[in-house]
Amino acid sequence: MQAPHLMTTYKPPTVRFVEGHGCRLVDDAGRSYLDFLSGIAVTSLGHAHPAVAAAVAAQAARLVHVSNLFGNELAEPVAEHLDRLVGDGEPAGGKVFFANSGAEANECAIKLARRFGGRGRHEVVSAYGSFHGRTLATLHATGQPSKHEPFAPLPEGFRHVAYGDLAALRAAADPTRVAAVLLEPIEGESGVVVPPPGYLEAVRQLCDERGILLVLDEVQTGLARTGRWFAFHHDGVRPDVVTMAKALGNGMPIGACWARADVADAFVPGDHGSTFGGQPLALSAVRATIDTMEQIDAPRRARERGAQLEVGLAAIDGVRSVRGRGLLLAAVLDDGVDAGALVDDLLVHGLVANAPSAGVVRLAPPLVVTGQECDEALGLISAALARSLAARDRGAARPGAGVEGATPRGVVAQGATAEGATQDATTKGATT
């Protein structure tokens, strides 16, 4: 599939989608697919959700955009609602900056940490295997050196340590130089890597001891994806700064950076801004999305359907273990099974997933997915793995190579395998 007028920042797509409803996508040939990626944890209410579509249409007919030099009627109530979700139902006492993406939300967090820390105390410590964005600063915060090399020299002031390694973090977190520790509660792009139990609590304690800000990147994990409103709620910690995007507008481009009030107040007028951030059109989508998520109890849905998928995946031949939380899950495949070839084969047979790292298939279906749709996906995965295992045993290069329409996949964001400990939710031969 050719697109000669688009920059080649992604591999050529193999499918062109033109329509979606709920958990289903339709391509330009009229073929239907079960979407278990949600645009990488974006369309959490499914495609073309009627509440979101109606809100955006109504707002577009009334007021799309005004400069942030002026106010709009949605910014404050939406910010207050997000503050309450950060507080797990209670006001968290913070303030919000609206941006257009997760990278911009993280850029805001980095600038805010430097402003709060003061001159000379500007460094940010993040983890290997992380992904925080593709601006120059967030790219350097991303713990994937292979992504740094083409764009060197990158902005200074970033250190990386092994994810889950508290001793390494303790050694790197010099309180005279470090303004913030920036972590994902689960590293999505390196294969849905969960830190060891107690890690985030210990990081919170370390940051408190040294007067360092704890910034949690919830761009992929936030807004009910893991079975709580934010993934850090599982660990009982309270971060100083939280970034979010992806599911925030159910597909409308928007991000947000929340910070506790005294940290947020380090910014003064002129320190930061965005032309489109927090415009009425985008905020109308956010309001409809989070209102609907509360109405359907989205965290509960993620827990219930996630448990179903976790058990089902663990029972499939070719799956060595399952890790993740809620509806952000990874199937870790047996040795010799090509995850990239597997997702190619799944796409040919009507299931959308992706392989963020070697030997791992990521699933992030809409939070409105039904039990029947989960069973359908498990059946497709089981059949594809059976073909893959048979091909492996025959020494074949790729399953699906002889299937009409099978072509190499386009992995959206391929990450390096994280260093340090990981925690599998379900492992063959073990109980959970």
Q: Is 217 a catalytic residue?
A: yes
Q: Is 131 a catalytic residue?
A: yes
Catalytic residue among 131, 158, 230, 232: 131
Q: Is 246 a catalytic residue?
A: yes
- In single-letter form, the type of residue at position 66 comes to V
CA distances from 142 to 127, 131, 148, 189, 206 (A): 7, 5, 9, 10, 21
- Mention every residue, 6+ apart, whose C-beta is less than 8 A from residue 430: none
Q: Determine the Cα–Cα distance for residues 107 and 104; give it in Å rounded to an integer.
A: 5
154 alpha carbon, distance to own chain's centre: 24
Residues noted as catalytic: 131, 217, 246
